[in-house]
Amino acid sequence: MTIRKDLLRWQYADYGNKHRSRINLWLHIATVPLFWGGAAALTAAALGWGGMSMWLLGLGGLLGAFIAQAAGHKTEPEAPEPFLGAGDFFSRFVVEQFVTFPRFVVSGGWRRGLGRRP
């Protein structure tokens, strides 16, 4: 299972270059919380709360976020680096949702990105 060395640093280093499209930026601001909700629902389901509906809600949140963000990335002038395998995909996607995108928002990168025209 391949996970990139220094993933946090590597992913953030050119995050702004890969997130310039207004469509993609708005999709991320809407769907990162959807991912968080899906992850919370799956955690609750794993702890025995909510039954099958909680599992479905959680999976729907994760899948919805992934599909929307994948579509958003297709609007970008600069494509993301190809995935090196399942471990790279999973680690990059999860770290982006919980660390890199929130960091991008708090640092002002998201707002600055809205002002750019790709």
Domain ranges of the chain: 16-109
pLDDT reported for residue 116: 74
Tokens of 85: 């395998």
- Alpha carbon distance 103, 28 (integer Å): 13
What mean pLDDT value characterizes the chain? Answer: 96
| Per-residue pLDDT tens listing for the chain (118 residues) | 789 999 999 999 999 999 999 999 999 999 999 999 999 999 999 999 999 999 999 999 999 999 999 999 999 999 999 999 999 999 999 999 999 999 999 999 999 999 976 5
Classify burial at 19, counting beta carbons within 10 Å of its beta carbon; exposed 0-12, middle 13-18, buried 19 or more. Answer: buried
